[in-house]
Amino acid sequence: MRGQNIEPIIEMNGVTKKFGGILALDNISFAMRGKVLGLIGPNGAGKTTLINILLGYTRADTGETLVLGYNTKTQLAEIKKRVGVLPEKPGFPTSFTGKEFLTRVARLRNISNPKHAVEEILGTVGLSQAGERTIRTYSMGMQQRIGLAQALIGEPGLVILDEPAANLDPLGRLDMLDIISKYSQEKAVKFLISTHILYDVERKCDWISIMDAGKILEQGSVEQLIQKYAGLTYKIVVSDPKTFASELTKADYVISMAFKENSIILTAKGDVNVYEKTMELAKRTNVTVNEVRPVLGSLDEVFRAVVKSGR
């Protein structure tokens, strides 16, 4: 597997977290390696709980967590010195101006020349003109940009972004992806991104972990995952897709199925001959098969297949 010889950025061993009777993380053991890491999963999968444990916001009931090689229970101070964070829905001090806020953050981070660092990061996130305005006058997109700025200031070793594209317009989202590329390539800053936007993950992340129901279901590079799951994804074009699909849903070899225009996109279990099965089913349902062919998978399909197989 690519990158296995590199030190993991994040490592969890037997981590469990319960909130009352709800199991948020279920005995998780995994390691993430790479420059830009993506954490994806449906709502309630446990992504935010996982990030909260990495940052010491929440303590795990059992297990050990290492961030950049430091233990979250005993070396949290070392982690916080090296990690910049944009939490989900952060509460900014709205009475501060953008510059005041970043200057205070720079001082808390012991950055040697706060003024210069603030000017530079404001320029990077496109807020140079708004630096003197109070944060309460910022639009949601601008608040997200200032959030990104406070996470990146001082170029920490690792930046954790929880839903960074939230509230950003398409242009803002592209800007954010460019900033991530720039910092990871030119400044050796590593990123962990938790997001629902799979397209962003596919474009920028070199390592992906897929979560659901408090477990890591699959992980690896985008190419590895697509290779692993793409071979199982087929495009099927038939004369009566509706009848055919209703029969397909009953088949035990189907992991997931979706309609795309007039075709059916099917992800099947690995040990099944989809061509034979399709012909058998077509014969049974009196449907004519026009096309059956494997399709090059996207992360969307990988995600769907992984989550479905994990349930």
Partner 1 sequence: MKGKLRELMAWELQDNWSFPILEIVIAITIIQVVPFTTILINEPTLLFNFVRTFFESMFFVIIISAAIVCGKSFASGIEERKLVLLLSYPPSRSKVFLAKYLTNFLMLFLIFGSALLVEGASLFLFFSGAIQLIIWAFMFLYLFLAVFLTSSLMTIIALAVKRFGLSVLVFLIFMFGIEYSIPVNVYDPTYYLTLKMGPQGGVGYATAWYAHLLGLPSSSWVRLECFTVATSYLLIGGLAFLLGSLLIMKKLDLD
String marking each residue 137-156 x if it binds partner 1 according to CB under 8 A: -------------x------
69, 93, 123, 270: which one binds partner 1 (CB under 8 A): 93
Considering only the stretches 92-100, 249-257, 269-277, 285-293, report the one whose residues sit in contact with partner 1 under the rule CB under 8 A. 92-100
Contact status: 112 vs partner 1 (CB under 8 A)? no
Cβ 241 to partner 1, closest distance in Å? Answer: 44
Tokens of 198: 């799979």
- Ranges within 253-292 binding partner 1 (CB under 8 A): none
**Is residue 105 within the footprint of partner 1 (CB under 8 A)?**
yes
Buried b (16+ CB within 10 A) or exposed e, 7-46: ebbbbbeebebeeeeebbbeebebbbbbbbbbbbbeeebb
Q: Say whether residue 18 binds partner 1 (CB under 8 A).
A: no
Helix or strand holding residue 83 (H, E)? strand 83-86
Binding residue for partner 1, selected from 2, 73, 107, 242, defined by CB under 8 A: 107
Q: Read out DSSP for 189-250?
A: -EEEEE-S-HHHHHHH-SEEEEEETTEEEEEE-HHHHHHHHHTTEEEEEES-HHHHHHHHTT
Distance between CA 10 and CA 54 in Å, rounded?
Answer: 8
Judged by DSSP in three states, 147 sits in helix
| CA–CA dist 264, 255 (Å, integer) | 13
* Binds partner 1 (CB under 8 A): choice among 89, 250, 260, 311: 89
- C-beta closer to partner 1: residue 94 or 246: 94
CB proximity list for 206: less than 8 A, separation 6 or greater: 3, 34, 35, 36, 37, 221, 222
> Is residue 100 near partner 1 by the rule CB under 8 A?
yes
**Is residue 80 part of the contact set for partner 1 (CB under 8 A)?**
yes
Phi, psi for residue 262 in degrees, rounded to 5: -100, 10
Total of residues contacting partner 1 (CB under 8 A):
32
Residue from 91, 107, 87 nearest 99 by CA = 107
Q: Minimum CB separation from partner 1 for residue 57, in Å?
A: 4
Considering the rule CB under 8 A, would residue 91 count as an interface residue with partner 1? yes
Residue range at the interface with partner 1 (CB under 8 A); choices 45-53, 264-272, 279-287, 289-297: 45-53
Least separation, in Å, of the C-beta of 167 and partner 1? 14
170: tokens are 């398409």
Measure the CA–CA gap between 55 and 84, rounded to whole angstroms: 10
Whichever of 15 and 245 has its CB closer to partner 1, that residue is 15
List residues binding partner 1 (CB under 8 A). 19, 48-49, 52, 55-59, 76-77, 80-81, 83-85, 87, 89-93, 95-96, 100, 104-105, 107-110, 150
